[in-house]
Amino acid sequence: MRILGIESSCDETGVALVDASGHATPRLLGQALHSQIEMHQAYGGVVPELASRDHIRRVLPLTDAVLAQAGLPLSAVDAVAYTRGPGLAGALLVGSGVACALGFALGKPVIGVHHLEGHLLSPFLSADPPEFPFVALLVSGGHSQLMRVDGVGRYELLGETIDDAAGEAFDKSAKLLGLPYPGGPALSRLAQQGDPQAYKFPRPLLHSGDLDFSFAGLKTAVLTQVKRLAHAQLDGPATLHLADPLSAQQKADVAASVQAAIVDVLVKKSLAAIRQTGLRRLVVAGGVGANALLREQLGAACARSGVRVHYPELHLCTDNGAMIALAGGMRVQAGLALAGEASEGYRFDVKPRWPLADLSASSP
C-alpha cells in the first residue's frame, strides 16, 4: 500500500510517499520538503498567516516532485495521510484540504494523522528500527513529553512540560543572544566554542520525583545573566541588541551553559522514565533530537544502563512528510486507520490542540 503523506502543521511543507504493504517494513519511495525558515527569519519567529499562504504555494509542486522521484503516477497512491493536528489551524487546513481533495479525486481513503505520532514512529524508517514497547522522548518546538509506547496507537503519557517546550527553551535563549530563528541549531553551533560550566543555570524539576519538565525559568535565568554581562560593559557604545556588548566568548559560554542545562534535564528524566517503566528501549524524536550533545550524553548514559537508543535518520528529526505517510501506513497496518473515511464524504477538520494520549482512548 502506497501512502502519500502531507505535513503542514507549522513552518515546513513536507510531502512523501511511503510503501507500507502487509506487515513488511515500511519503505520511503520519495520525499520533498520546503522549509519556510528564511521567510520567517525576518520576524524572529513563525508568522501563522504567512505560513498558511506559503503551504498553499508549495504543496502541489512538492507532490509532483515526490511522484517524479518515485517514478509513479498520482493514480498509484492508495491512501493520503495528512497532519490533522496539533499545530497552526490555518496551516493545518491547507494540508488537510489538499489531502481530502486528492483523496476525493482518486476515490482513495484519507487518514488524519497526529503530528507527534509521526515524530514518534519516524525511527521505523531508519536502518535500525526499534521494537515495541519503548519509552519515547518527544522533544520539539512545541512539545516535551515522555511517553510509554506499547504499539501503534497505544501511548501513555508519563510526563510533560508544565510550561515551555525544550525546543522553545533553545529558541528563546538563542533569541536573547541575538541568534537567528530557529535558535536550536544556531545555539548548539555557538555552544561548541563555549564552556558548559561557565554559568550555572537552573535544572528545574530535576529532583521533583515525577517525569514532568519545566523550562520557562531557564529563559529568565539566561536573560538575567545576559543583562548582568551587558551591564558590566555599560561604558561601551550604544547597541541595538541586549547581547551586543557581550564578547564572542561570553556568548558562546552562555550558549554552552544553557544547552548543558537543557540536555542534563532531558537525559536524567529519560533515564528516570526507563527505570520507572522497566523498559530497555528509548526512542528520541522531534527537532531537538537532532542536538549532538543530547545524542552524545543519552548514548553514554543509556550504554551504561544497558538501554538501546533509537533515533530517526537526522533528516527525519525535524518536521517532514515521510513521518506522516509512515504513521498513516502503520495505522493501516495495525488496523486503526479509518479506511471507510471515503464514505463520509471527505469531510475534514483539524485539531490545533490534540493530546497524543487521546489516540489511545480512541483505539479499539
Phi, psi (degrees; rounded to nearest 5) at 135? -95, 135
Smallest distance from the beta carbon of 155 to ligand KG4, in angstroms? 16
Q: Could you say whether residue 170 binds ligand KG4 (CB under 6 A)?
A: yes
Assigned C-alpha cell, 261: 542545562
The residue from 118, 142, 321, 329 that contacts ligand KG4 (CB under 6 A) is 142
Report residue 287: phi and psi, to 5°. -50, -40
Q: Cα Rg for the chain, rounded, in angstroms?
A: 21
Residue 141 has φ and ψ, to the nearest 5°, of -70, -25
Looking at the Cβ atoms of 108 and 175, the one nearer to ligand KG4 is 175
Beta-carbon-side half-sphere exposure of residue 331 (alpha carbons within 13 Å): 31
Residue 288 is a binding residue for ligand KG4 (CB under 6 A): yes
Per CB under 6 A, does 10 bind ligand KG4? yes
In whole angstroms, what separates CA 48 from the centre of its chain?
18
Number of residues that bind ligand KG4 (CB under 6 A): 19
Q: Taking CB under 5 A as the criterion, which residues in 1-40 touch Zn ion?
A: none
C-alpha cell recorded at residue 160: 510533560
Residue with cell 497532519: 83
> Binding to ligand KG4 by residue 290, rule CB under 6 A?
yes
Among 130, 286, 321, 328, binds ligand KG4 (CB under 6 A): 286
Q: Which stretch binds ligand KG4 (CB under 6 A): 40-48, 88-96, 97-105, 184-192?
A: 184-192
By CB under 6 A, is residue 118 in contact with ligand KG4?
no
Nearer to ligand KG4, 142 or 159 (CB): 142
Residues in the chain: 364
Q: Which is nearer to Zn ion, 54 or 319 (CB)?
A: 319
By CB under 6 A, is residue 26 in contact with ligand KG4? no
Rank residues 319 and 341 by Cβ distance to Zn ion and give the closer one. Answer: 319
Strand order in the sheet with 79-85: 27-35, 12-19, 2-7, 79-85, 110-114
Select from 8, 63, 96, 140 the one that contacts Zn ion (CB under 5 A): 140
Asked if 213 and 166 touch (Cβ cutoff 8 Å), the reply is yes
Cβ at position 138, least distance to ligand KG4 in Å:
9
Residue 142's nearest CA partner among 326, 311, 9, 316 is: 9
Sequence-distant (≥ 6) Cβ neighbours of residue 346 within 8 angstroms: 100, 101, 103, 104, 110
171 contributes a contact to Zn ion by CB under 5 A: no
Using CB under 6 A as the criterion, which residues of the chain lie in contact with ligand KG4 when the complex forms?
A: 10, 140-142, 167, 170-171, 182-185, 188, 286-288, 290-291, 318-319
